[in-house]
Amino acid sequence: MAIHRTDHDGTRELLLSSAIDLFYEKGYVGASVRDIVKAVNVTNSILYHHFKDKNELLYVIIDRIGLELIKSLKQVEQQYDDPMERLSRMIYTQICIVKERKREVKIFLEEQYQLGPKYKAGILRQHREIYSLYMDQLNALEERGMLRNINKTVLNFAIHAMMNWSYRWHREDGPLSIEQVADSITDIFFHGILKK
């Protein structure tokens, strides 16, 4: 569901930026339209000129980060022939998106349940596409005889569980960079935790 409105003076992007900050800090329910417009120094009517309502604002934020992730994963898919390398680079890429988009990632993962039915359907399609990209790699590994006899759906969800919550515990000023976290999670996925 693409939503296009003109933004000649940049107000739409300012409203989106304000909403990202406030949804990240207060959550969708805790951030009011008044808070969003106050941060940009415009009136409610300006927000409603650019967005149907607060829910559409949330949808646009979630849709954008979802599309950005899908684009990045497809680029990785096209760059590597080996499915193991593709899967490894996809995991790394998805974790590292937190470096530039931590706020949006949090909103994507935690606030999507606030979306109304018509918006939720569009985001669900994105989720299915993301899971499908990973499942394609698991299927390719299975076809090459490289995958243990483990349910691929469980594997796919396990990969996402490891990746998706790293934004909650990773600290930018901590001892590990997000790249080191991505390397470690990829290593755990491919090699486990026990010595051979």
pLDDT for the residue numbered 5 = 52
pLDDT at 105 over 80: yes
Please tell me the distance from the alpha carbon of residue 92 to that of residue 83, in angstroms, as a whole number: 14
Task: Give the Cα separation of 30 and 27 in Å (integer).
Answer: 5
Give me the pLDDT at residue 194, please: 85
Distance between CA 115 and CA 119 in Å, rounded? 6
Given CA atoms 158, 159, 164, 166 in this order, what sign does their dihedral have?
A: positive
| 6 confidence band (pLDDT: 50, 70, 90) | low
pLDDT surpassing 50 at residue 134: yes
Residue 165: pLDDT band with limits 50, 70, 90: confident
Which of these, 147, 142, 133, 129, lies nearest to 91 by C-alpha position? 133
**pTM for this entry:** 0.90
Looking at residue 168, its pLDDT comes to 87
Q: How far is residue 141 CA from its own chain's centroid?
A: 25
Selection from 161, 171, 158 nearest residue 99 by Cα: 171
Quickly state the pLDDT bin for 8 (edges 50, 70, 90).
low
Q: What is the mean pLDDT of residues 160-187?
A: 92
- What average pLDDT does range 171-192 have in this prediction? 93
Mean pLDDT over residues 34-46, rounded?
95
In whole numbers, what is the pLDDT of the chain averaged over residues? Answer: 93
Band the pLDDT of 2: cuts 50, 70, 90.
very low
Cα–Cα distance between 108 and 59 in angstroms, integer?
9
Does the structure show a pLDDT above 50 at 4?
no
User: Domains in the chain, ordered, with CATH?
Assistant: 8-51 (1.10.10.60), 61-191 (1.10.357.10)
- pLDDT of 145 strictly over 60: yes
**C-beta of residue 45 within 8 angstroms of C-beta of residue 52:** no
What is the mean predicted confidence (pLDDT) over 68-73?
96
